[in-house]
């Protein structure tokens, strides 16, 4: 423990004990512990690290006292879901106004101003914040390649030379070179309105064809068996629906349709909506989870909070919507936090890194040798659905792929043993 931190752990423990003055720790229930943490989580000025310190102090107190409640509380959820969303988080950053030019940067005069134009056009088209960051990064890198020349004065010749340099000198992957190409085509076509035209031939980075990491059904059972609580439910949803990580994290209450046993995935990759099946075995758990979230929301409302972030200026159009139950996040954070853009205290969704950590930890505990990630659960969903006999077009729609060729990669599992060839070793008597 860091020097000086012990004093604060003691203070948090004493504050907890004072709330239950006169009662033995052995009689405390998990519901009471979580209610106390939820109450502290409503302190909007509390920083993320302070809240996590408070959670750990209570856990240590109960552990030292051998209180039964210590084993019943989902500490990972309270510790990890208490993280604040930074201003650059994909959920929030898309609504940020473009920053004005702040002067000159390495790479030449006026690059900041040009970057501001790129950001403005990207946000007008509602592209993701990660696309924005990548395209701005490639603009800066291209400006450095030009050694001080203004990118506005460059054209197809310079872009072609830059892409070739990436492949030959930089030895980048094909996907990296393609991203650079897309960024510069966007710059000249959509921002400067001066299309590059045909670039002709240039050195292309080698394109590897890695197969996706797919877990067997037994491995999925072992992985999910090591997870419980909110993170266990989310991991089961990733495998049971094929959703992407951020699609799951951003789910709103109104997106769950228990009547038709389906989930509406809003604003997925490419700004598309789609419908995925709701696993029947998760229905009861989801309804019980929503009951807890609703209780939390009602308590927030009673204290003057209860609002959530709404995308695309919907809050200005529907001022009452942020406090409506349907707009609340299914997987709400364990505490209120100040929106980094304007300081408004809200309950955001939990940070996606908490689920990623939980999946990685469960994979280690289950002794899985494959590089397991949240996206591996999506790959496993697609592969197992194809194995079950569903056609490729159905799987394409469930995954939200624009091109069926992207979905075709999952057919590799149907070509068992190298396109179905029986090894000669298995034929030897």
160 assigned to active site:
no
As a whole number of Å, the end-to-end CA separation of the chain is 64
Concatenated DSSP letters of 292-321: HHHHHHHHHHHTT------STTHHHH-TTG
- Whose structure tokens read 């494959």? 370
Question: Would you state the pLDDT for residue 336?
Answer: 86
384 assigned to active site:
no
Q: Which of 141, 144, 323, 375 is catalytic?
A: 375
24 assigned to active site:
no
Q: Which of 269, 360, 361, 412 is catalytic?
A: 269
Rounded Cα gap, residues 118 and 192, in angstroms:
9
Helix (H, G, I), strand (E, B) or coil at 240: helix
231 assigned to active site:
no
Q: Residue 276: which H helix or E strand, with range? A: strand 274-277
269 assigned to active site:
yes
Rounded Cα gap, residues 377 and 220, in angstroms:
8
pLDDT tens column, 114-135: 888 898 888 788 777 788 889 9
Rounded Cα gap, residues 163 and 374, in angstroms:
32
Rounded Cα gap, residues 354 and 346, in angstroms:
19
Rounded Cα gap, residues 365 and 219, in angstroms:
12
Question: Would you state the pLDDT for residue 108?
Answer: 42
Total-model pTM: 0.78
Q: Which of 12, 28, 244, 250 is catalytic?
A: 244
Is residue 248 within 8 A of residue 236, CB to CB? The reply is no
Question: Would you state the pLDDT for residue 138?
Answer: 92
Residues of the chain with pLDDT under 70: 94-109, 202-209, 270, 312-313, 341, 413-423, 425, 429
Question: Would you state the pLDDT for residue 92?
Answer: 79
Question: Would you state the pLDDT for residue 96?
Answer: 58
Half-sphere exposure of 98 (CA within 13 A, CB side): 19
318 assigned to active site:
no
């Amino acid at each position: 423990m860091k020097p000086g931190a012990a004093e604060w752990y003691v203070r948090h423990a004493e504050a907890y004990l004072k709330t239950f003055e006169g009662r033995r720790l052995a009689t405390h229930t998990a519901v009471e512990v979580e209610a106390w943490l939820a109450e502290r989580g409503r302190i909007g000025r509390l920083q993320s690290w302070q809240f996590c310190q408070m959670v750990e102090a209570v856990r240590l107190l109960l552990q030292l006292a051998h209180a039964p409640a210590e084993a019943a509380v989902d500490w990972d959820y309270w510790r990890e879901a208490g993280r604040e969303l930074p201003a650059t988080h994909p959920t929030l950053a898309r609504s940020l106004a473009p920053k004005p030019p702040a002067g000159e940067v390495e790479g030449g005069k006026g690059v900041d101003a040009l970057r501001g134009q790129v950001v403005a056009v990207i946000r007008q088209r509602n592209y993701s914040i990660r696309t924005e960051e990548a395209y701005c990064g490639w603009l800066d890198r291209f400006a450095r390649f030009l050694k001080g020349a203004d990118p506005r004065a460059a054209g197809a010749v310079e872009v072609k030379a830059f892409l070739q340099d990436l492949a030959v000198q930089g030895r980048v992957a094909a996907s990296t070179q393609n991203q650079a190409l897309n960024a510069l085509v966007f710059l000249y076509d959509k921002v400067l309105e001066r299309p590059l035209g045909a670039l002709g031939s240039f050195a292309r980075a080698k394109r590897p064809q890695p197969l996706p990491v797919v877990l067997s059904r037994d491995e999925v059972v072992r992985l999910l068996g090591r997870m419980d609580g909110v993170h266990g439910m989310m991991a089961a949803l990733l495998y049971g629906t094929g959703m992407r990580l951020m699609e799951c994290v951003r789910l709103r209450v109104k997106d769950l349709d228990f009547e038709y046993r389906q989930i509406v995935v809003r604003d997925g990759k490419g700004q598309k909506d789609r419908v995925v099946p709701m696993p029947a075995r998760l229905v009861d758990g989801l309804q019980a989870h929503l009951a807890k979230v609703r209780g939390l929301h009602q308590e927030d409302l009673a204290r003057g909070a209860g609002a959530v972030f709404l995308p695309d200026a919907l809050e200005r159009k529907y001022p009452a919507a942020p406090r409506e139950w349907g707009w609340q996040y299914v997987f709400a954070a364990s505490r209120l936090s100040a929106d980094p853009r304007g300081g408004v205290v809200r309950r955001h969704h939990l940070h996606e890194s908490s689920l990623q950590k939980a999946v990685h930890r469960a994979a280690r505990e289950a002794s899985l040798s494959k590089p397991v990630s949240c996206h591996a659960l999506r790959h496993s969903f697609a592969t197992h659905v194809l194995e079950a006999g569903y056609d490729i077009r159905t799987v394409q729609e469930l995954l939200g792929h624009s091109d069926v060729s992207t979905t075709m990669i999952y057919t590799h599992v149907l070509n068992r043993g190298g396109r179905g060839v029986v090894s000669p070793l298995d034929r030897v008597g």
